Amino acid sequence: MATPPIEEVSAEALTFLRGVDSPTIANAIEPFKVRDRTDGYVGGRVRCLFPEMGPMVGYALTVTMTSRPGPVASRDGYWRMWEALERMPAPSVLTIQDVSGAPTRCAHCGEVMATLARRLGAVGIVADGGVRDLEEVRALGVHYFASHAIVSHGNSEILTIGDPIELDGQIVRTGDLLHGDANGIVIVPPAVVDGLPAAVAEVRAKERETMEYVKGEGFSLAELRGRSGY
């Protein structure tokens, strides 16, 4: 399947996003009212395996993978995936939904795939199933977000490329701009990117003011409630 058109953001915007933690980005998106507050982030079953790397920012290439007993799986989807990744704008993120029904029984990515993904412009790999070769992939500087570390690749097969996928309750589409760190992954709508620096500054200022008040000698719960606006 051909990947859909992707709305890219500027290099300056990418640099800015890499300097902000994911919860602050999530909070800064809310005032734009572009989506429901329960939408736009991947659930906690997909967790950051290398939190020391800081934020990951890149465009999702979505694929589905499976693993099942029987004959060795076809490699057709494998090569089509790499061809699609090569066409993606950088930085990209290989984003995988496990549809095997047994996500603890297969590692969909390891050192070899991470090395090739990095060569083709990917900065991270996100999966709601298994990955492996943690130390080797960490040394490559490739972000890993996954649910499990699994020793074997099983009988992994790529089924679809470029279609919408679901990761722990969140629909992710090819071209979505993902921002992830130790706290999880949020999808950044391109429509709000230009306004994010000011929105992030406002979030930080309000949080700093609140925390200073809570830590101060004049603190009262009633006053804090009045200040909060909710």
CB count in 10 Å sphere of residue 115: 15
Q: Is 111 annotated as a binding residue?
A: yes
- Tokens matching residue 219: 């603190």
- CA atoms of 112 and 130, how far apart (whole Å): 15
Q: Is 132 annotated as a binding residue?
A: yes
Q: Identify the three-state secondary structure at position 73.
A: coil
The angle subtended at Cα 79 by Cα 77 and Cα 149, nearest 5°, is 75
Q: Is 76 annotated as a binding residue?
A: no
What angle, rounded to 10 degrees, do the helices at 11-18 and 196-215 form? 20
Contact criterion met (CB below 8 Å) for 146 and 104: no
Residue in this structure with the two tokens 């993978």, named with its chain if needed? 65
Contact criterion met (CB below 8 Å) for 39 and 121: no
CB count in 10 Å sphere of residue 215: 8
Q: Is 184 annotated as a binding residue?
A: no
Total residues found in the chain within this entry: 230
CB count in 10 Å sphere of residue 201: 11
Q: Rounded to a whole number, what is the distance in angstroms from the first to the last CA of the chain?
A: 47
| Annotated binding-site positions for Mg(2+) | 133
| Annotated binding-site positions | 110-113, 132-133
| Annotated binding-site positions for substrate | 110-113, 132
